[in-house]
Structure 1
């Protein structure tokens, strides 16, 4: 299978925004603890711009920590879901390469599952422009760890389905050397493991909300998920899936 166009994959989420909102995992409380620790500042009262905010999963967690949040999201479908979930949060349409924010206007920029959709040659200067002195940038991703046997086996099945290195694709951008190839930010890395237990249908809907499946054909998707259901019921006969994630977190501070 030929690797699909990056832009096509990015735009695919708008057609499945409700599915994304309902079934994608959130993030553990320890993540925001780590953001505070590595950024050297409290989230309470901080002016935070959540870039590529999607349906607002990270936005909601930041609000719960007492942050003053503005959401930036380019996609019409994702933005509509965010508005439904957080009607009082200021929302502007834009992306990380062209931030619709004033210079030196925010304390923290967050990119939850979104930095890899940006071009670091443009998104890094933009991040520096809008951050206040002493501000910080935090990038993070939920990634399925390959050291969990059933997850490794499921990853191999996806790789065979798409004819691509799905695991390498999934972790694209989650390491400092890729996220910031010229080391202009001085990112500090941390990984946090967490789990959630969900019904099989939720797990499959979560998987189906990823861009590679969204741009696949309906026939291929249906065949894949029918087979995947059978595989997973052998591992989890009660139909409750233990999803394990590593949150790959990268944080950098600006000079005060």
Structure 2
């Protein structure tokens, strides 16, 4: 587990409380692209505390979930203990041993960026049945669009303590399109993407819990981190006590071709102990 992943693991409780659920329309879009039912075998890469798990379980599919973090896995296992068609593997994707062409659908929710790109795509391709689908989605936090003075003050704090804009550039169509096309590099077909918008209000205290789930923030030197967090907390309090985070959620869908043409072998890249 990397140092970034360790800091993320330490924030499991804050993650469960602070991170938003995904919109129902996102899952509807996935299920229109690939029908999933009780006969389907599905793999979730990086289950976390299970923020994106329930809609798949409700289809009745056989769902296997991978999560290397002990505390994150604990939350997910406890949350879905009543589902006998749910199994959790506390290991990394690289450690997950499974025969090729085992799954009808593989998905990853705000987690696939932890896996080396080439290995990740090639291994997913190998594990999918012909005609199987890979769904990659993630949310990207954006600035408060209603409270401009608050947004400006927070951006100034980020420039001071993290040398970053604090959400000045929002994730958009160009980013999502490029990521969707990336799957074609590894043999996938029928690639498509869609963006979804959502908002969530945070009090100053609740927003601190959210910030503690961000690995780059937790990795920041302690004095700088405290100054940044305290500054943001004071700014939210000063501007009414509430901050609205505007999320952009991007979904990329890609299909493993039915024919042998274009199939990629990743035997050399998928050694598993």
TM-score, normalising length: structure 2: 0.78
| Residue 172 of structure 2 corresponds to residue 177 of structure 1 | no
1:211 corresponding residue in structure 2: 215
Question: Offset of 1:212 from its aligned partner?
Answer: 1.1
Matches within 5 A, 1:192-231: 192-231=196-235
| Residue 92 of structure 2 corresponds to residue 85 of structure 1 | no
Gap regions ≥5 residues in structure 1: 1-5
| Residue 54 of structure 2 corresponds to residue 60 of structure 1 | yes
Q: Which stretch has the larger CA shift, 104-113 or 179-188?
A: 179-188
CA gap 1:213/1:196 in 2 versus in 1, 3 angstroms:
same
Gap regions ≥5 residues in structure 2: 259-273
Secondary structure of 2:11's aligned partner: helix
Of 104, 112, 124 in structure 2, the residue corresponding to residue 127 of structure 1 is 124
Of 1, 10, 31 in structure 2, the residue corresponding to residue 15 of structure 1 is 10
Say which structure is richer in helix: 1
Of 90, 97, 101 in structure 2, the residue corresponding to residue 100 of structure 1 is 97
Distance in 1 (alpha carbons) for counterparts of 2:178 and 2:95 = 22
Q: Which stretch has the larger CA shift, 92-101 or 226-235?
A: 92-101
RMSD: 2.9
Question: Offset of 1:10 from its aligned partner?
Answer: 2.2
Question: Offset of 1:232 from its aligned partner?
Answer: 1.9
Answer yes or no: is the 8 Å Cα contact 2:212–2:218 preserved in 1.
yes
TM-score, normalising length: structure 1: 0.82
Answer yes or no: is the 8 Å Cα contact 1:13–1:77 preserved in 2.
no
Question: Offset of 1:228 from its aligned partner?
Answer: 0.5
Question: Offset of 1:250 from its aligned partner?
Answer: 0.8
CA gap 1:147/1:16 in 2 versus in 1, 3 angstroms:
closer
| Residue 190 of structure 2 corresponds to residue 190 of structure 1 | no
Answer yes or no: is the 8 Å Cα contact 2:105–2:128 preserved in 1.
yes
The structure whose Rg is larger is 2
Question: Offset of 1:248 from its aligned partner?
Answer: 1.0
Q: Which stretch has the larger CA shift, 100-109 or 140-149?
A: 140-149
1:247 corresponding residue in structure 2: 249
1:33 corresponding residue in structure 2: 28
CA gap 1:14/1:250 in 2 versus in 1, 3 angstroms:
same
Of 110, 115, 124 in structure 1, the residue corresponding to residue 112 of structure 2 is 115
Number of residue equivalences: 245
